[in-house]
Structure 1
Amino acid sequence: MSRTPRRRRSATTAAALVLTLLLSAATTASATASDDQGPLLLTVTVPGDEQAPPGEAEDGRLTDAELRWAVSVQAGSESHLAGQCNFLVAGRPGTDGDTRGGRIWTDADRTLYHGTAGDVRVVRTVGRGADATQRTATFGTRCTAPDGRPVSYAAGRTTGAEAVLTGGTGTREADGSVRIRWKGSFTVVFYGGLVYWWVTDPELRLDAAGNGALTGTLGGYGTDQQDMTRWEPLPSTRAQLVTFTGRRLDPASRGGHLVPDYCGVRTSTGGRVPQFREDPAGSCWGSFPQAFVNFHQLVGEPEFWYSTGTRDEIKTPANVSVSFDAAESVGSAGPGDGGTGGGGDGGNGTAAPPAAVPPATTGPEGSGGGSRAGTGDGATRGGTGTTPDTDAGAASFLPVAAATLDAAGAALIPDGLIPGGTTGRRLAVLTAVLLVAASVAILGFRQGWLVLPFRRRDP
């Protein structure tokens, strides 16, 4: 978008005033020399300053841009650790970011959580459809879905929370290139508090072709699986959080939603769990940028940032929402779809928020090699302690046995054998019940306390 710079307008105004004075002097001299000539009337129009949109100066400078990012669906989902969740925090935990050790946050740790810190907020959607509203997250709601129920991987319930930063400063040029930087931090907490890391002062850079990256300074604390008493500050590391290919933002628009690169991106795992390079149902294989993965080698959970064959459908980076003026926000960008760029949307680089991808069966978990945090991406889903949703009025054979097996969930039935959805769960439970009944029948016939109806029992 081309605008006249303030300096050029000031020069134009000054020139107009000088011209007015010169013409006035010439007119006076002419009138003195010839009294029979009437006065020369001149009209000089001085251009006034155009009112710039709120949050933006005349020359394309931005003063209050907004950034929204949920990091990934997994960052707001149920944790591998039983009964815990992953969540976002505004700023850094507590007063200085140091919790004095990795531990699960309880009610006694409420002061560690912040929903707002300076120009940073963590917001979440409450309600559905026309009744949906966005509210600042709290310690009590950090693990709840929009419907108020606890997050559940099996049921596909996540918080939908995202970090929102305002006050971004920078420029957007007429050719579509963008450079915006925000001040502030937000923290990503995994395993209910055992592991966390933060992003400080993120910056977005896009060239005229829509290629670029969102970068930030990474920090946090690291521990060790074999010695959880170890608690070491991690070095501040400036790194790419996500990259973009062919994702232009129209300079004449309010902003847009950027789809990060992920699908097909290869990464080096440094001897950890190898990258899984087969597309899971409803998603794709890929990775966050290499420097980002390298940093998480220190945090202790790099497997969450590239495909491993476990929960890969919720690992893709969330779409990034950018508004040139926070007062005219383009809203949430929605979850990520793992796009590889290329301008498939006509070159605008924006994407309508896609629907959340339901969990897909990715095979038995346990591919992880354990993380420094003590519980890695390879933790079994059977340890989550959650059960899938069931219809309240559903009836089943052998209700006691079925209820017992369903309560045990994946601890008794391998995940790889469970079809997705409630119907698939019932089928798996019923199959298990029938297998148990068949085993009991075989044992009964062998022991003699069960006989076929046409066979006479020996006296």
Structure 2
Amino acid sequence: MSRATRRRRSAATSAALALTLLLSAATTASAATSAATSTTASAATSDDQGPLLLTVTVPEDGTEPPGQGEDGRLTNAELRWAVSVQAGSESHLAGQCNFLVAGRPGTDGNTGGGRIWTAADEDLYHGRSGDVRVLRTVGRGADAAQRAATFSTRCTSPDGRPVSYAAGRTTGAEVVLTGGTGTREADGSVRIRWTGSFTVVFYGGLVYWWVTDPELRLDSAGNGALTGTLGGYGTDQQDMTRWEPLPSTRTSLVTFTGRRLDPDSRGGHLVPDYCGVRASTGDRVPQLREDPAGSCWGSFPQAFVNFHQLVGEPEFWYSTGTRDEIKTPANVSVSFDAAESVGSAGPGNGGTGTGGGGSGADNPPAAVPPATTGPEGNGGGSSSGAGPGSGSGTGGGTTTTPDPDTPASFLPVAAATLDAAGAALIPDGLIPGGATGRRLAVLTAVLLVAASVAILGFRQGWLVLPFRRRDP
């Protein structure tokens, strides 16, 4: 056989081997979505070289999403809710504000009567109680971050100035509960319960009420409610000497229609029902059923409004023609794992309810894409509305940020040997969320390893290009 013929056969053999490696990598990536696959590539070299052994371990695509065990259990879910923009705004009482408190006021929840909290009442306020925190936005734009609220900051906007309805300045505060337990199913149904309480204070302390042990339930269609046990003390605008403990009442705080969470996601933001929901108000101020400027007419759930008849301020929870644009319920943020929070849900935009506003195509999105997480990993607010109020003074609009399941750019990672003990081929922080992201990561990693084999082969000399002369 002539030397030229041997060179042509060697080149053809090398090209065929390279093609085989690439086809093998593609086949391995396709099979990786259902089972772990190990690929071993070896090639014979010269007499003084042993075979090159390369092992790639591909994780199963059925890896459980964050915060969920094999049986669908959740062990550290997170709930974020600002209640409403009005719950962090200037009060109707001049010089006072509405604010949120972690836990119950003081030690037992009883302040002894309706009164404005002063510096002497600082011990009534809690920024944290157990697994419940009150976080507020500090700073604007790129400098925005969330910090624990304190008594001295409870009435200030992100820029440090006092809240003002006229100027559109609100606190941007929200309650954050962690340690939620429950289940999420493959069909999208969710049931999560949190332990702890938070208090909503109006008129600077004259009126307050609390929520204990909130629970989220959604069926596979995204219909359900966030419920809680309501309590507090009741008074009367006409007789502030009245101060009576209210009966514990388990009821819906907000309801949801068609607000399904993707079971393969980290969580999401839910838009509560409000627009078009009718309320029976008895002898109180009647419900306005005409859309006011910058908002819509509607109501929180009827049982919730009924409870506030006892508190003495039901008009804050349905449209009356006064500050209706900041009455809509804030969007609810749910993270299946608090360690991978989806961040703040933003102000409420009055999701269409079943009462008079219609449904279907007129509804806002079922789950608003998560907002950007702040520097501390707990949903930093920004001037675009990451919090109950972003300085606009209105309840309209939702945060619009990229869907976490949209493939994102990531750095290539290649290695000769990867451990089979659950080690990821690409660092977790660089992998897009959801099943799509995992498949993309597996495919890319396998192709990168195949390319590494080819490059190493060319450098070692046991692979050559068809058009390259190889010395005898």
Q: Shorter-chain TM-score: which interval?
A: 0.5 to 0.7
Question: 1:357 Cα shift?
Answer: 8.0
Query: Could you tell me which residue of structure 1 aligns to residue 366 of structure 2?
Result: 349
Q: Given that residues 343 and 349 in structure 1 are in contact (C-alpha distance below 8 angstroms), is that contact kept between their aligned partners in structure 2?
A: no
C-alpha contact 2:157 2:163 (8 A) present in aligned 1? yes
Equivalent residue number for residue 99 of structure 1: 111
What amino acid maps onto 1:349 in structure 2?
A: A
In the superposition, the TM-score normalised over structure 2's length comes to: 0.64
Partner of 1:369: none
Which of 223, 228, 246 in structure 2 is aligned with 1:234? 246
Do residues 304 (structure 1) and 316 (structure 2) align? yes
| SS of residue matched to 1:230 | strand
* Equivalent pair of 2:170/2:393 in contact (CA under 8 Å): no
**Match for residue 280 of structure 2?**
268
Equivalent residue, structure 2, for 1:74: 86
1:154 shift after superposition: 0.1
Which whole-Å CA distance do the structure 2 matches of 1:270 and 1:255 have between them? Answer: 39
Cα separation, 1, equivalents of 2:243 and 2:215: 29
C-alpha displacement at 1:345, in angstroms? 10
Higher relative contact order (CA 8 A, sep 6+): 2
Residues 290-335 of structure 1: CA distance to partner in whole angstroms, max 9, x if unpaired? 0000000000000000000000000000000000000000000000
Identify the match of residue 319 of structure 1 among 314, 331, 346: 331
1:207 matched to 2:224? The reply is no
Residue 173 (structure 2) aligned to one of 141, 161, 165? 161
- 1:192 and 2:209 are equivalent in the alignment: no
Aligned length: 313
Alignment match of 1:126 (pick from 138, 141, 150): 138
Q: Secondary structure at the match of 1:293?
A: helix
SS at match of 1:189: strand
Q: Is the 8 A contact 2:136 2:172 kept in 1?
A: yes
Distance 1:321 1:359 in 2: 20
SS state at 2:239 partner: coil
- Aligned equivalents of 1:333 and 1:103: distance in 2? 32
1:273-306 Cα distance to aligned partner (Å, 9 max, x none): 0000111111100000000000000000000000
Change (3 A) 1:357 1:243: farther
Q: Give, in whole Å, the separation in 2 of the partners of 1:80 and 1:215.
A: 28
Please tell me the residue identity of whatever aligns with 2:125: Y
How many angstroms does 1:339 deviate by? 1.2
Q: How far apart are residue 225 of structure 1 and its match?
A: 3.0
Structure with higher helix content = 1
Instruction: After superposition, give the CA deviation of every residue in 1:78-117 in whole Å (9 maximum; x if it has no partner).
Output: 0000100000000000000000111000000000000000
Give 5+ residue unaligned stretches, structure 2: 1-58, 354-358, 372-383, 395-472
* Cα distance, 1:358 vs structure 2: 3.7
Alignment of 1:59 with 2:76, yes or no, is no
Deviations 1:336-355 (A, max 9, x none): 00011656599972114674
CA separation of 1:357 and 1:316: change in aligned 2, threshold 3 A: farther
Runs of 4+ in structure 1 off by over 3 angstroms are 50-55, 341-348, 352-360
Normalized per residue, which structure has more strand?
2
Q: Deviations over 1:415-440 (max 9, x none)?
A: xxxxxxxxxxxxxxxxxxxxxxxxxx
In 2, the alpha carbon distance for the partners of 1:319 and 1:240 equals 15
Letter in 2 for 1:340: T
Q: Pairwise mapping of residues 59-458 of structure 1 onto structure 2 (< 5 A)?
A: 59-340=71-352, 342=359, 349-352=366-369, 355=385, 356=390, 358-359=392-393
3-state DSSP of counterpart to 2:241 = coil
Deviations 1:391-450 (A, max 9, x none): xxxxxxxxxxxxxxxxxxxxxxxxxxxxxxxxxxxxxxxxxxxxxxxxxxxxxxxxxxxx
CA distance in structure 2 between the aligned counterparts of 1:328 and 1:201, rounded to whole angstroms: 22
Q: 1:197 to 1:285 in 2, by over 3 A?
A: same
Q: Distance in 2 between matches of 1:76 and 1:140?
A: 14
State the identity %.
Answer: 85
**Cα distance change on mapping 1:347 and 1:280 into 2, 3 Å:** closer
Q: Matched residues in 2 for 1:221 and 1:52: separation?
A: 44
CA deviation after TM superposition for structure 1 residue 51, in Å: 7.2
Distance of aligned partners of 1:346 and 1:308 in 2 relative to their CA distance in 1, 3 Å threshold:
closer
Maintained 8 Å contact 1:246/1:347: no
For the Cα contact (< 8 Å) 2:352–2:362, is it kept in 1? no
Instruction: State the secondary structure of the residue aligned to 1:156.
Output: coil
Distance 1:194 1:103 in 2: 5
Could you say what the CA RMSD is over the residues aligned between the two structures, in angstroms?
2.1
Helix, strand or coil: the match of 1:88? strand
